[in-house]
Amino acid sequence: MSTPMPDNPFLQGFFEPLQMECDAPDLIIEGEIPKDLHGSFYRNGPNPRYAPLGQHHLFAGDGMTHAFHIEDGRVSYNNRWIRTTKFKLEDELKRSVISPMNPFECDEEYQDFIFTDKDGIANTACVWHGDKLLILEEGHQPFEVDPITLESIGSYDFNGKLTTAMTAHPKVDPVTGELVFFAYMASGPFEPDVALYKVSREGVLTKSHIIKIPYPAMVHDFVVTENYVLFPIFPLTGSLERAIEGKPPFAWEPEKGASIGVMPRNGTADDVRWVECDDIFVFHFMNGFDKDGLITTHQSQFAHAPLFPRADGTMMDEVAPYLTSWSIDMNDDSPRVAHQQIDENESEFPQVDPRYAMNAYRYGYYATPYGDKSKDGTMFNAVGRYDHQTGITDRCVFGPRDSAATSEPIFVPRSDNSAEGEGYLLAVATDAETNRSRLVVMDAQNLGDGPLATAQLNHKVPVGFHGGWRPA
């Protein structure tokens, strides 16, 4: 018999794990699913199978993927835990024995596990590329699952060419179909380096580079433009020594400074230039582009890293993310990041019309809190569209902050040839009173009009991280 989940905010409320897998072949629809919307919408996030060990962190739960399959105005749903090596081991033992973020919190017999495991916990994001659905968690190799059944296939190494982990935020070039991704701490745990990889449209890994960085850092996301790759090195540092001493393995150390490594897209590690940056923090970038050596990026920026402590273990004040713009002039002898806030709304999980990734664009999308602050802290209860041309935000609100939560919105173009922003936003919204979730389909050009349609579940999808779309 499994033990109850411990008293932890990331195991309660909207985060409470779902303890079942199920298939729902024909969901009840309110409104009308657009006839030109065909494909699968995925959500991925942490969902611990058993009561976790140690000081549970939001990032440490077993991965569970949820899929909404849309065809001819109908929606079916299924969900599955990802059958990683950790998951299968603990499912056999009927208890947790692995602490994914700290080997010294593992059962003594399994303290070496996380140093040799290739699967990880597959709990962060997904990407559809080269006719494969890959579930991503930045500390390990991607994990392939069947795009319809979600049955686990196994870790994927691009036919033996990938020897490191893979970021949860790869970038797909909309023109060439090339997949660009990286891995931090590429040569081993807590090593000061990143690896850059390029994969062809067909799924063949073609190029790789190892880049030394100023210190071991958690690098969650990066930027790819037409001509550059940007590696943001913020002082969220990793330390084996701290972990051994029972201190935080990852911690905020602003005294180490921040910098951005800028590499020509067709260059090598020798071509990287390091650009000074204020001691800020970014989990997620919306998009980036360049023209004549001037790089512009947009991102949800924090004053410091949330969810992580200082090196001595003390927590920092709560901090909110806001959409900012960066400018980097690579024509300067000593370029520096110039940044400014461009939107007054708190925002995270920024997205863009994927046809405009790496290029100049007008519209961006994000999850945002709206209304009076929740007693439980910031909860995203709305999705927004930001117009970079006018500075105007449109939003769709799913309920009060105390009783509604939503996921990262994913943009799906109406057609390959439709204008920028002409399409749909898909998200999962959850109601605290009913403890149920629903797929929400919105007209991306008219968010304020409310959903075009919702597909109802009889259970809750826990608040997770990222999603994705696979066209039919």
CA gap 217, 33 in Å, rounded: 43
Map out the domains of the chain as residue ranges.
Answer: 157-346
Per DSSP, the residues of 172-197 read E-TTT--EEEEEESTTSTT-SEEEEE
| 432 within 8 A of 402, measured Cβ to Cβ | yes
Angle at 220 between CA 215 and CA 224, to 5 degrees: 100
Task: Tell me the mean pLDDT per 10 residues along the chain, length 472.
Answer: 84 95 97 97 97 91 98 98 97 95 89 89 98 97 98 97 97 98 94 97 96 97 98 96 89 97 96 97 98 98 95 93 98 97 97 98 97 72 98 96 94 97 98 96 97 98 96 96
Q: For residues 470 and 58, what is the distance between their CA atoms, to the nearest angstrom?
A: 27
Please work out, in degrees rounded to the nearest 5, the angle formed at the alpha carbon of residue 280 by the alpha carbons of 312 and 462. 80
Q: Which of 291, 111, 129 is nearest to 197 (CA)?
A: 129
pLDDT of residue 65: 98
Q: Containing H/E element for 242?
A: helix 240-244
What pLDDT score does 102 carry?
A: 84
The pLDDT assigned to 160 comes to 96
Q: What is the pTM of this model?
A: 0.96
CA distance 358 to 263: 15
CA 402/CA 313 separation, integer angstroms: 29
Q: How far apart are CA 281 and CA 3, in angstroms?
A: 37
* pLDDT reported for residue 111: 87
Output the DSSP codes for 383-452.
EEEEETTT--EEEEE-S-TTTEEE---EEEESSTTSPTT-EEEEEEEEETTTTEEEEEEEETT-GGG--S
Identity (one letter) of the amino acid at 136? L
Residue from 122, 57, 104, 96 nearest 239 by CA: 104
